[in-house]
Amino acid sequence: MRKFVGLGLAAVMAASLTACGGGNSAETTTAAPAGNDTKTEAAAENNGDEAAAPSAEGGSFKLGVVGPLTGPAAAYGIAVQNGVDLAVKEINEAGGVNGAMLEMNSQDDEHDPEKSVNAYNTLKDWNMQMLVGAVTSKPCIAVAAESANDNLFQITPSGSAVECAAPDNVFRVCFADPAQGTASAKYIGENKLATKIAIIYDSSTEYSSGIREAFVAEAANENLEIVADEAFTADTNTDFSVQLDKAKDAGAELVFLPIYYQEASVILKQASDKEFSPIFFGVDGMDGILSVENFDTSLAEGVMLLTPFSSTEEGSKAFTDAYVAAYGIEPNQFAADAYDAVYAIKAAAEQAGITPDMDASTICDAMKTAMTEISIDGLTGEGMTWDAAGETGKAPKAVKIVNGVYEMQ
């Protein structure tokens, strides 16, 4: 089982929890406006951008993308699709990968493991050679089992459950769940944000439960007192009165929310109704809360979260400008993770010397070695590296929501 990030991030966190400048791995260019067709045959067809069309002379690598493009987690999947699309356009416009172009085919899994496998099989029928995805953890675990059996190279931007990257053909850009829990507890303790902590988590997801477990373990080392530890499930995620009342009655100064942004937005509204105003601290799943439809973003004022990317930091400006021009919305960390994933593929492919005429298994064998030999300066971290277990080495970042925007801390 992969444990590199979960164990190694503690040392990184001790050294630095301040933002490190995140530059992109290639100079960004402004892309043409794009759509979000969920069944594209290539980036050119998806977005009507001739610059993304594959070159007949150098051939083309077929790059599949799997993620939720519809349903409650669509904000994540669409961001990943867009991040991949933008990187593919830039790479193709700059001459491709060793002269070969990248083709992109994006398939919707609706945040459902079974549909994710169906999406993967659709991409196999398209003769996919490398995969970016899946985006969310349960679908990613399901797809990883398939790609491992096929020995097909896979890099997930955001599948954070430990099991997502268990096979040796799977790498990830984000931190694993245990690392996020450990890092959050360290940040709260080292920055003396609070001593009495309440936790509200989703016991029906590996994502939330895994982060919560690591947080509780590290909290003891940081002299943090867990005064309330309250669960909900996918069937009870609309009314958090009991959890909030227990946190408030216990005198919680900070509420840790290792959950997704949809539930977090409800919790913030219900906490405000109860005149309960502790510090709320989340992790990467909360990224996107400012874009929730009909959500009063003033309720998120002062919310903190660990996220590797902020669209407002100086190192992200070129990427953000290009992304807004292309898709009409500001990028979130999922877009940045996906963008970095494609540039990692480019760097590893060039290191390995692979060519489009190779089959997927041969490409995978070469990429598994090359990924451990590269280092890129990405949007989500400088000097990003990967170990043989597929885990990334980079410093975590924390942000605070101030006046409706992220401020790096």
Closest by alpha carbon to 159, among 140, 177, 143, 179?
140
Give me the amino acid identity at 390: G
| Cβ-contact 255, 280 below 8 angstroms | yes
Q: How far is CA 148 from CA 47, 166, 167, in A?
A: 31, 9, 6
Question: Measured on CA atoms in the order 373, 376, 382, 384, is the torsion positive or negative?
Answer: negative
d(CA 348, CA 370): 5
d(CA 236, CA 168): 36
Q: Encoding tokens for residue 329?
A: 């919305």
Strands lying side by side in the sheet with 254-257: 225-232, 196-202, 254-257, 279-282, 304-306, 398-402, 405-408
Closest by alpha carbon to 330, among 83, 21, 36, 19?
83
Quickly tell me which residue has 């939330």 as its tokens.
208
3-state secondary structure labels for all residues of 94-131 = CCCECCEEEEEEEEECCCCHHHHHHHHHHHHHCCCCEE
At residue 321, φ and ψ (nearest 5 deg) are -60, -45
Length of the chain: 409
Query: How confident is the model at residue 57, as a pLDDT?
Result: 67
Inter-axis angle of helices 333-352 and 360-370, nearest 10: 100
Query: How confident is the model at residue 27, as a pLDDT?
Result: 31
| Cβ-contact 68, 76 below 8 angstroms | yes
d(CA 396, CA 190): 14
Give me the amino acid identity at 324: V
Query: Integer distance in angstroms from the first to the last C-alpha of the chain?
Result: 32
Closest by alpha carbon to 400, among 257, 287, 260, 302?
302
d(CA 210, CA 339): 26
Closest by alpha carbon to 152, among 118, 128, 117?
128
Q: Residues near 31 by Cβ (< 8 Å), separated by ≥ 6? A: 47, 49, 85, 86, 89, 90, 322, 325, 326
Burial (Cβ within 10 Å: 0-12, 13-18, ≥19) of residue 298: exposed
Per residue of the chain (409 residues), what is the pLDDT tens digit? 332 233 233 333 333 322 232 333 333 222 222 333 333 333 333 433 333 345 446 799 999 999 999 998 999 999 999 999 999 999 999 999 999 999 999 999 999 999 999 999 999 999 999 999 999 999 999 999 999 999 999 999 999 889 999 999 999 999 998 999 999 999 999 999 999 999 999 999 888 999 999 999 999 999 999 999 999 999 999 999 999 999 999 999 999 999 999 999 999 999 999 999 999 999 988 988 998 989 999 999 999 998 889 888 889 999 999 999 999 999 999 999 999 999 999 999 999 999 999 999 999 999 999 999 999 999 999 999 999 999 998 877 789 999 998 888 8
